[in-house]
Structure 1
Amino acid sequence: MVINFGAGPAKLPEEVLKSVQESLLNCNGSGVSIMEMSHRSQNYAKIQDAAINDLRELLNVPDNYKILLMQGGGTGQFAAVCLNLMGRTGTADYVVTGAWSAKAAKEAAQYGKVNLVLPKMSNYTSVPRQSSWTLDPNASFVYYCDNETVHGVEFDFVPEIANGVPLVCDMSSNFLSRPIDVNKFGVIFAGAQKNIGPAGTTVVIIREDLIGHHMPNTPSILNFSLMDKEKSLLNTPPTFGIYVMGLVFQWVKRNGGLAGMATNAEIKSKLIYDVIDKSNGFYSCPVDTAVRSRMNIPFRIGNITGVEELEKKFLSQAEDEGMIQLKGHRSVGGIRASLYNAMTVAETKLLANLMLNFYENNNK
Structure 2
Amino acid sequence: MSQKVNRAYNFNAGPSALPLPVLELAQQELIDFRATGMSVMELSHRSAAYEDVHNEAISNLRDLLSIPENYEVLFVQGGGSLQFSMIPMNFLQAGQKAGYIMTGAWAEKAFEESKLFGDVYEVASTKAGNYRSVPSIDELKYNATDAYVHLTSNNTIFGTQWKQFPNTGDVPLIADMSSDILSKPIDVSNFAMIYAGAQKNLGPSGVTVVIIRKDLLEKANKNIPTMLKYGIHAKNNSLYNTPPTFGIYLLGEVLKWAKGLGGIHALEKQNEAKAKLIYDAIDQSNGFYAGHAEPASRSLMNITFTLKDEAAEKRFLAEAKQAGFVGLNGHRSVGGCRASTYNAVPYETCKALSDFMVQFQKVNG
Q: TM-score, normalised by structure 1?
A: 0.96
Cα drift, residue 48 of structure 1 = 0.1
- Matches of 1:193 and 1:88, distance apart in 2: 34
Structure 1 counterpart of 2:145: 138
The alpha carbon displacement at 1:213 in A equals 2.8
Contact 2:126 2:132 in 1 (8 A): no
Preserved CA contact (<8 Å) 2:22 2:254: yes
Secondary structure of the structure 1 residue equivalent to 2:40 = coil
Q: Partner amino acid for 1:309?
A: A
Verify the 8 A CA contact 1:168 1:187 in the aligned structure 2.
yes
Distance 1:19 1:120 in 2: 43
Q: For residue 321 of structure 1, what is the aligned residue in structure 2? A: 323
| Residues 207-262 of structure 1: CA deviation (Å, up to 9, x unaligned) | 00011333344222221111111110111100010000000000000001000110
Question: Are 2:226 and 1:252 aligned?
Answer: no
The secondary structure found in structure 1 opposite 2:117 is coil
Q: Counterpart of 2:47?
A: 41
Asked whether the 8 Å contact 1:153–1:287 carries over to 2, the reply is yes
Offset, 1:89? 5.1
Alignment of 1:1-364 (within 5 A): 1-87=7-93, 90-119=96-125, 121-122=127-128, 123-162=130-169, 164-302=170-308, 307-363=309-365
Unaligned runs of 5+ in 1: none
- How far residue 310 of structure 1 moved from its aligned partner, in angstroms, is 1.2
Deviations 1:180-205 (A, max 9, x none): 11111100000000111010000000
**Match of 1:102, as an amino acid?**
E
Shift of 1:119: 4.6
Query: What is the distance in 2 between the residues matched to 1:186 and 1:282?
Result: 43
User: C-alpha distance in 2, partners of 1:221/1:359?
Assistant: 53
Q: For residue 153 of structure 2, what is the amino acid of its counterpart? A: D
Is the Cα–Cα contact under 8 Å of residues 88 and 140 in structure 1 kept in the other structure?
A: no
Deviations 1:42-81 (A, max 9, x none): 1100000000000001111111000000001100111111
Q: Name the SS of the counterpart of 1:95 in structure 2.
A: strand
Letter in 2 for 1:141: Y
Residue deviations 1:315-361 (CA, integer Å, cap 9, x gap) = 11111111111101110111100000001111110000000000001
Across the two proteins, how many residue pairs are aligned to each other?
358
- Sequence identity percentage: 44
**Higher mean C-alpha deviation, range 204-213 or range 169-178:** 204-213
CA RMSD of aligned residues (A): 1.1
Spell out, residue by residue over 1:126-160, the C-alpha distance to the aligned partner (whole angstroms, 9 max, x if none): 11212122211111011000001111110010111
- Distance in 1 separating the partners of 2:245 and 2:84: 23
**Equivalents in 2 of 1:119, 1:256: separation in Å?**
37
Structure 1 residues 88 and 48: CA distance shift in structure 2, 3 A: farther
Deviation at 1:88, TM superposition (A): 7.1
**1:84/1:212 contact within 8 Å kept:** no
Farther off after superposition, 37-46 or 214-223: 214-223
Letter in 2 for 1:213: K
Instruction: Name the SS for the 1:316 alignment partner.
Output: helix
| Structure 1 range deviating more: 57-66 or 206-215 | 206-215
Report deviation, 1:275: 0.7
C-alpha distance in 2 between matches for 1:222 and 1:37: 25
- Paired residue secondary structure (1:168): strand
What is the letter of the counterpart of residue 345 of structure 2? M
Which runs of 5 or more structure 2 residues have no equivalent in the other structure?
1-6
Larger CA deviation: 276-285 vs 128-137: 128-137
Asked if the contact 1:80/1:222 (under 8 Å) is kept, the reply is yes
